[in-house]
Amino acid sequence: MGQDQPIRLLTTLLRNETIPHALLFIGMEGVGKQSTAITFAKACNCKSHEPERFSEAAYPHSRSERKDIRREEATPCGYCRPCRKISSGHHPDIILVSPSGPFIKIGQIRDLIRTLAMKPYEARLRVVVIADAQAMNPSASNALLKVLEEPPDRTILILTATQTSDLLPTIVSRCQQIRFNPIAKKSIEIVLVDDHGVRPGDAQIISIMANGSLSKALSMTTSMPRTNWVRRRNWLINEVAAIYHKPIASHLAFAEKLSKEKTLLFDSLEVMKTWFRDLIVYRYHPDKMINLDLQDKIQKASNKMRADSLISYIDNIQSVQNNIHANTNLRLSLEVLIMRLARA
């Protein structure tokens, strides 16, 4: 969804048969990098791209239509045996490596290297997808680098990551980069309403909070069965907006409540960041605010805050977000954060 440029680039590689041994998909979480990688693996191995070897009964198009699809779209059919095996996750030559806990560990890359030392079982092109490659620890990164320097025959590696700065420069330099864009808010809103039954008003607010990530928007509609992210957003912003007038005991209670909801914590902090961001943005481009439905509230608060203080608050929140998956004392980190935010 909304990734026309990456799809054009990948289609050109398929048409021209100029697929490099390593691709790097860069973009924020939840914009379709991994699903595109899996679809590309299908396209590399789809039997409809070999019409003379493909069963007429298995593919509901004429031979001429299959040739047009192969030539113009380079699109996997979804019906042939390789496509179906890849969709089910049972193809022996389509390998997915993802973080085990917070990291991709050296053992996972060593297992991959042993597998790549053997020839593909049945694929025309073996495809290895390393999801969230920024999660590789240093030893895993160095081990993968050896694979990139001496790529195995008939094998493509696709790495996905949020930004190149999180990877070793030597890894980045050995991959062809393809950048994925945030998904348009209107597109996310349509998916929420049409496919998931979210009320239009709620869908509009959630699509804004998701900030271009479809997976984040979907998680917001399913992660809170007894409430919803619209109400939670309002509660968080009300707490932060009134934080300067509350006693210390209230600050500690707020920090404690946040720490007990770890699965919601990252996105809760993201909502708090959008509040302080909007206080800055309102002064220059009010039409670019995230919480547009709270404009009156933002206008009143914005006039009372200095821009350098607001930027400092955003940095402090980001620091806590960075520590969520690390072995840190979240309760203490949140208490310190709330105390800093309370300094008007």
C-alpha–C-alpha distance, residues 270 and 18, integer Å = 41
Same domain, 301 and 334: yes
Domain count, the chain: 3
Same domain, 144 and 201: no
Q: In this structure, what CATH number is given to the domain that contains residue 119?
A: 3.40.50.300
Residue by residue, DSSP assigns 189-249 as HHHHHHHH---HHHHHHHHHHHTT-HHHHHHHHHS-TTS-HHHHHHHHHHHHHTGGGS-HH
Same domain, 249 and 111: no
Same domain, 199 and 101: no
Model confidence at 178: pLDDT above 80: yes
Same domain, 318 and 334: yes
Q: In this structure, what CATH number is given to the domain that contains residue 283?
A: 1.20.272
Range of the domain at 239: 226-341
Q: Which residue has the tokens 């805050």?
A: 305
Same domain, 64 and 152: yes
Q: What is the CA radius of gyration of the chain?
A: 24
Same domain, 264 and 281: yes
Same domain, 247 and 205: no
Average pLDDT, the chain: 86
Same domain, 62 and 202: no
- Convert the pLDDT of each residue in 87-116 to its tens digit: 999 999 999 999 988 889 999 999 999 999
Looking at per-residue pLDDT, the higher value among 134 and 62 belongs to: 134
Same domain, 332 and 268: yes
C-beta neighbour count of 244 within 10 angstroms: 13
Partners of 97 in beta bridges: 130
Same domain, 127 and 276: no
Residue pair 22/152 in contact by the 8 Å Cβ criterion: no
What is the pTM for the complete model shown?
A: 0.75
- Convert the pLDDT of each residue in 239-288 to its tens digit: 999 988 888 999 999 999 998 888 888 889 989 999 999 999 999 998 88
